Amino acid sequence: MLRRDHYVIDGGVAVVTGAAGGIGSAVAERLARRGSHLVLVDRDKEGLAAVAERVRTRRPDREVSTHALDLTEKDAALELAEQAMAAHGRVSLVVNNAGVALAGRFEQVSMDDVDWLLSINLRGVLAVTSAFLPHLERGAHITNMSSLFGLIAPIGNATYSASKFGVRGFSLSLREELKPRGIGVTAVHPGGIRTGIARSARRGVAVSEAEWETGLEIFDKFLVIDPAVAARKIVDGTERRKGRVLIGPEAYAGDIAARIAPIGYAPVFERLMRLKAGA
């Protein structure tokens, strides 16, 4: 039974960034099945069109708009908010899902690489949230995609972890700031979700071919959870206005490790990843 303090999905208008595939498309489709109208956002215009077509086929009674935008551009978030309000008249949920990965230890990546990743994973979240906050009314909700690597920071993920710890910290503070307005905030920490984020990662300038291939092999075996499973947990956590959502055994193990050994878990976790991947 839906409690009075829950986010109301049916009839709401949800903005989903990174909606052309992976977790984003799965979340969008689940929200639509639950009765939400959709504002789908991604740089992949063809991918957006495919997701929109699936949603419209299953829920022809829901309004769906697509917005092919590059959120790294300075005014893209404000442009998105204007387009969304013009198309739907209101927005009740913002799902900041868009994200990218960067392969390599910090000494193997350039500052151009770092700027690129942070512009999407962190600044993009802040910019989209800032653009939509003036339009959100009491009862609205914001769901931000952090990561298992927003709970722990394994070797070889310094820049990615910096971005996801940033999303986590932003979400924690924002949750308290928006309580008086009756707006909820959820931080999501997925573990090994089966998406293309590893294979579409940018390769650090000093990462060798052998290191790149080994990393891909490990992550191919590590990323096994169906995005639909993640979407169910994300949407349920959003509806219940949970402060955070952990997805997958790795996320729970990482959370425990960070509590028990906050500065000593990295080598152990790296070994566990390699064992799971059979490396």
Catalytic residues: 160
| Torsion region of 261: left, alpha or beta (phi above 0 gives left; psi -120 to 50 gives alpha) | beta
Closest CA to 164 of 101, 223, 215: 101
Contacts of 140 (CB under 8 A, 6+ apart): 7, 91, 92, 93, 94, 182, 183, 184
* 157 and 149 Cβ atoms separated by less than 8 Å: yes
* 263 and 254 Cβ atoms separated by less than 8 Å: no
CA dist., res. 66 & res. 37, Å (int) = 11
Joined tokens for residue 155: 């070797």
